[in-house]
A and B are shown apart, each in its own frame.
Chain A
């Protein structure tokens, strides 16, 4: 059988891909004609071309892919006519090909309204990579832009204009609202104001009557007699099916364009199919890629059944397609699913409209409140996948229906239905039509990574929106199969950090090599050395540079300082609670001057000295220790600082002496090695000047004692600490902290802060409280003893380093010229100090 495909866009390519996959008997030959110079590329993500993606990045398959799969590909060569009687097509370049079956995947062109002046220079359409290249050239000298079209494509084009640097851009929509097909008035209003925040000017109910200018566009005029100056215009007002070839071949077309097809996607000639945006099915043109892919599958199923003379089953008809969409428009989430507008008897709507945060959500629910019929999300579309699945699979809604858009408020448990409640035939990836069942099957077959599942099922390879659900399904399936999701350190250890911690303790291993010999394999690496070294330090409280463990330390720990740009180090002496005497301040100033260091106050109420040469570190520390300072462990995954407010000793509001308590806490836990850095805070009253609730542990004075908060952090994903215990005295507070910290040190994964550790903990803060306060694990006595041991064995590592000759001699840049400093270190002057030279 010979199949000729006219059109090499996304749907035309998908047709080839699916036909190749199903053509196992190799009895179908394929010839493709495409009019563009490139093989099919990803038009959906066209705007990323501006964001730095190349034409190659957008490409769906290389020319080689076609030839490797036996497909003859004619590029830059449109078909100009079809002889249906002789079942032959003729191309522009003179190629003649006969066919058994012909597939029209000619797609669509931009719809250009008949406005006088559209032919002027500076007026563009937005459809192909060539269009984009023309726009890029023109945009360089353009200052005032406009886009005709406030629908999905128009707003994409507006984003393209912003990306091109034409920030003064007006969007002109003929309808009374933006995205009239997808969202309702209220949603549109919100989108409108969000887009205006980004600098776009939006006009609705505006009808362009003329494009003005001589050769090039200079302005636009509208039916309300208004006008404005514009030097670049993009028309993106909709699509027009490419049906001219079909028309010329006397195939039936719709009154407003589109090649008429039946449920089998056959045109009025049964040997000719039409798929994608050129096909008119039941009076509808589908302008999205997912239905186009579905059409490709339907035709592939029919052709392979015919070629192999096998029964067709039910995969040979197209029954319409859900037009649900989710997109991120210029940073604003917009989604609609099911029937977004349905109203009337038997339908109720729940609307959440928060104009402060800029979120609008509407769901339409059946009268009995059990079924989700459709909805709209603007500003926050996180629940889109779940809602779409709930809607499509008619999953019964929970009693408090509003929870599905608002989340459960108070109380426990999941809001509504999770992935587990979906039926097996629920489509998770709508781009590739992959069901929950096939994803779970892939996991059961051993594809236990998201990448593996992507390769095996193709789920998540389209828009990527379903990837979080794919991951959830993978984890659920693995858990249901009784599989522990292995969380091993690296190729040298088949254990998680927690397992290693217990095994090292049980076997009393004390050096990295002993651990590797007994519990691992191979020669180690930068992934397993630091966590193992950290476990050894947590367990045995020995000086970390002890022989055998020195070179297993992460390099900041190895040199007891933080490496900075240019290869010099920074030095942070401990200043417990942020309290420091004038004499000590003077010493820091003197040391900084002597060694020519840049000084800065840190976020943790300490002083950081930057720009120290490696070989100066021991001398600097010798002077600091002489003055009574000790290591601040700024380089280690260990306790950093306990920040305090001034408290009741000076402050007129202070309830207790927060500084004294902070110093006590900091000195108790100094040097404690942990999976990640630890920060604390103590505030003398509820005004919380120490910002203790943003720390791994925070203590706040109350009338009756102290409130203890845990597991907060700043960083990239700030999270407030949660209340663990209230109105407790200092001793109880330290006891709870001992247990909490040891629980964390023992069980967290490498580089996991307490906040993330708690987020992953089943049962959350309630469980943590049951362990730390109520001793649910029966471990508290052991943990308190371990902390006591830590406190008693603490010594300053810098003191040990400068007093031990074989440790001290490692602090040189050149092993064969220890007196010389690295000559490549260069500083630039800045504000009476210096800075590291910018790297290349």
Chain B
């Protein structure tokens, strides 16, 4: 049996608030979420904003791109890269980041928080 995940969607911002092929930081109560609009691929991603390497709230300011077609973000501090899809660290470290689901409705970007 597969347990059903309960996802709570909250409205983060409007599409135009996010720079093309870049990220912004979204506040959800006490949680900071990095939201990325990968315009080139017409995809949206959301992850934790904190880079697990040195615990810095900075991933939303990182460069995004791909590695072998896997979307990723590079932390501005030491260029550790993380998959935007799985959250796995692509620079060979053991740490991983949390990812969130994203949907867009009527120009508004929603992030899914699973309880």
A residues with a Cβ closer than 8 A to B are 491-492, 513, 516, 522-530, 547-548, 550-552, 554-556, 558-559, 563, 565-567, 810, 813-817, 820, 822, 824-825, 839-840
**Is there contact, CB below 8 Å, between A814 and B63?**
no
- Chain B nearest CB from A738 CB (Å) reads 32
Pick the residue among B21, B22, B25 that contacts A814 (CB under 8 A): B25
Those of B20-71 within 8 Å (CB) of chain A: 20-22, 24-27, 32, 35, 38, 40-41, 54-58, 61-69, 71
| Also in contact, A563 and B67, with CB within 8 A (given A814-B25, A814-B26, A816-B26) | no
Q: Is the CB–CB distance between B58 and A563 below 8 Å?
A: yes
B77 close to A523 (CB less than 8 A):
no
- The answer to whether A491 touches B67 (Cβ under 8 A) is yes
Select B22's contact among A525, A528, A551, beta carbons within 8 Å.
A551
**Chain B residues whose C-beta falls within 8 Å of the C-beta of A554 in the assembled complex:** 63
* CB atoms of A526 and B81 under 8 A apart: yes
- CA of A373 to CA of B49 in the docked complex: distance in angstroms? 64
Asked whether, in the complex, the Cβ of B71 is within 8 Å of the Cβ of A550, the reply is no
Is the beta-carbon distance between A523 and B65 smaller than 8 angstroms? yes
CA distance A12 to B94 in the complex (A): 36
Q: Quote the shortest CB–CB distance from A530 to chain B (angstroms).
A: 8
Closest approach, in angstroms, between the C-beta of A489 and any C-beta of chain B? 12
Residues from chain A with a CB closer than 8 A to the CB of B64 are 551
| 30 A–B contacts, CB within 8 A, in A order | A491-B67, A513-B40, A523-B41, A523-B66, A524-B21, A524-B66, A525-B65, A525-B66, A525-B67, A525-B74, A526-B79, A526-B81, A527-B65, A529-B63, A547-B20, A551-B22, A551-B63, A551-B64, A552-B63, A555-B76, A556-B76, A567-B58, A814-B32, A815-B12, A816-B13, A824-B57, A839-B54, A839-B56, A840-B54, A840-B55
- Verify if B93 is at the interface (C-beta below 8 Å from A): no
Minimal beta-carbon separation of A570 from chain B (angstroms):
14
Residues of B within 8 A of A810 (CB): 19
Write out the residue numbers on chain A whose beta carbons fall within 8 Å of the beta carbon of B67.
491, 525
Q: B62's contact among A527, A555, A820, by CB below 8 Å, is which?
A: A555
B57 A822 Cβ-Cβ under 8 A: yes
**Contact residues in A for B71 (Cβ distance below 8 Å):** 523
Instruction: Assess whether B18 is in contact with A815, with CB atoms less than 8 Å apart.
Output: yes
Shortest beta-carbon distance from A636 to chain B in Å: 14
Q: B27 — which chain A residues lie within 8 A by C-beta?
A: 814, 816-817, 820
Residues of B within 8 A of A547 (CB): 20
Closest to B30 in A: A823
Per the bound structure, the CA–CA distance linking A820 and B26 in Å amounts to 11
Q: Number of contacting residues on B, CB 8 A?
A: 38
A548 vs B19: C-alpha distance when bound (angstroms): 9
Is the CB–CB distance between B72 and A525 below 8 Å? yes
The one of A513, A816, A840 in contact with B12, judged by C-beta atoms closer than 8 angstroms, is A816
Q: How far is the CA of A784 from the CA of B94 in the complex (A)?
A: 51
Q: Are A551 and B35 in contact (CB under 8 A)?
A: no
Chain A residues closer than 8 Å to B76, beta-carbon distance: 555-556, 563
A815 in complex: contacting residue of B26, B55, B69, B77, CB < 8 Å: B26
Instruction: Determine the chain B residues whose CB is within 8 A of the CB of A555 once the complex forms.
Output: 61-63, 76
Closest CB of chain B to A313's CB: distance in Å? 44
A813 touches B25 (CB 8 A): yes
Residue from the set A528, A816, A839 with the largest chain B CB neighbour count within 10 Å: A816
Closest to B68 in A: A491
Q: How far is the CA of A563 from the CA of B64 in the complex (A)?
A: 17
Given A513-B21, A524-B21, A525-B67, 11 additional A-B pairs, CB 8 A: A491-B68, A492-B65, A492-B66, A523-B38, A550-B19, A551-B64, A556-B76, A558-B61, A559-B61, A565-B56, A816-B17
The docked-state distance in angstroms from the alpha carbon of A825 to that of B71 is 29
CA A528 to CA B64, docked complex, whole Å: 11
Contact status A548-B40, CB under 8 Å:
no
Contacts of B38 in A (CB 8 A): 523
Are A548 and B20 interface neighbours, CB within 8 A? yes
Q: Which residue of A lies closest to B77 (CB)?
A: A563
Which chain B positions have C-beta within 8 A of A524?
A: 21, 40, 65-66
Which residues of chain B are near A816, meaning CB under 8 Å? 12-13, 17, 26-27
7 closest A-B pairs by beta carbon, nearest first, are: A525-B65, A551-B22, A526-B74, A555-B76, A815-B24, A526-B63, A814-B27
| A353: min CB distance to chain B, Å | 46
Are B54 and A815 within 8 A (Cβ)? no
CB nearest to B65 among chain A residues: A525
Residue with the greatest number of chain B CB neighbours at <10 A, chosen from A526, A530, A554, A566: A526
Taken together as a complex, chains A and B put the C-alpha atoms of A526 and B69 apart, in Å, by 14
Report the bound CA distance from A805 to B12 in whole Å.
21
Chain B 95-107 per-residue mask, 1 if CB under 8 angstroms from chain A, else 0: 0000000000000
Choose one: B35, B40, B81; the contact of A523 (CB below 8 Å).
B40
Q: Which residues of A contact B55 (CB under 8 A)?
A: 839-840
Q: Cβ of B74: which chain A residues have Cβ within 8 Å of it?
A: 525-526
Assembled-state Cα–Cα distance A566/B55 (Å): 9
Instruction: List chain B residues, Cβ under 8 A from A567.
Output: 56-58
- Return B65 CB to nearest CB of chain A, in Å: 3
Question: Which chain B positions have C-beta within 8 A of A530?
Answer: 63
Residues of B within 8 A of A563 (CB): 58, 61, 76-77
Between B17, B22, B63, B72, the greatest number of chain A beta carbons within 10 A of the residue's beta carbon is seen for B63
How many Å from the CB of A637 to the closest CB on chain B?
A: 15
Are B56's CB and A566's CB within 8 A?
yes
Please report the C-alpha to C-alpha distance between residue A522 and residue B64 in the assembled complex, in whole angstroms. 12
B12: A residues at CB distance < 8 A: 815-816
Contacts of A527 in B (CB 8 A): 65
Of A565, A815, A825, the residue contacting B25 (CB under 8 A) is A815
- Most chain A Cβ neighbours within 10 Å, of B12, B41, B64: B64
A200 to chain B, nearest CB (A): 38
Query: Shortest distance in angstroms between B109's beta carbon and chain A's nearest beta carbon?
Result: 9
In the complex formed, the residue of A with least CB distance to B63 is A526
List the A side residues contacting B13 at CB < 8 Å.
815-816
Q: Which residue of B lies closest to A556 (CB)?
A: B76
Shortest distance from the beta carbon of B75 to any chain A beta carbon, whole Å? 9
Q: A547 CA to B39 CA in the complex, in Å? A: 13
User: In the complex, how many angstroms separate the beta carbon of A507 from the nearest chain B beta carbon?
Assistant: 19
For B38, the closest partner residue in chain A by CB is A523
Cross-chain contact A815 with B35 (CB below 8 angstroms): yes
Determine the distance from Cα of A284 to Cα of B32 in the docked complex, in whole angstroms. Answer: 71
Among A815, A817, A820, A840, the one with the most B-chain Cβ atoms within 10 Å of its Cβ is A815
Distance, CA A840 to CA B38, complexed state (A) = 31
